[in-house]
């Protein structure tokens, strides 16, 4: 790909990266980074004022809420599987 996504993510987050800003991410034991270490280092060096904080519980509860479209798709898949 033309861009690995790190530049795009930095473009999005840099305006929010003021000293003392925090970004909630999932840090639970089931969470994996899934990016090369060099990319992570580039990302964090581009966001010097931002702290990553554990928002696993909040994000997990938000992901449990499903839209009508998601419920219909889940129901459809369950019908196929049963």
Helix and strand totals (H; E) in the chain: 4, 2
DSSP 8-class letter at 49: T
- State pTM to two decimals: 0.67
pLDDT at 2 over 70: no
Other beta carbons within 10 Å of 9: 17
pLDDT tens figures, 8-54: 999 999 998 888 899 999 998 888 888 889 999 999 999 998 999 99
């Amino acid at each position: 790909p033309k861009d690995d996504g790190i530049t795009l993510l930095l473009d999005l987050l840099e305006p929010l990266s003021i000293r003392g800003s925090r970004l909630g991410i999932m840090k639970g034991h089931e969470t994996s980074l899934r990016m090369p270490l060099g990319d992570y280092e580039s990302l964090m060096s581009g966001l010097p004022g931002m702290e990553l904080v554990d928002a696993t519980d909040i994000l997990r509860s938000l992901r449990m809420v499903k839209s009508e479209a998601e419920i219909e798709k889940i129901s459809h898949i369950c019908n196929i599987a049963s």
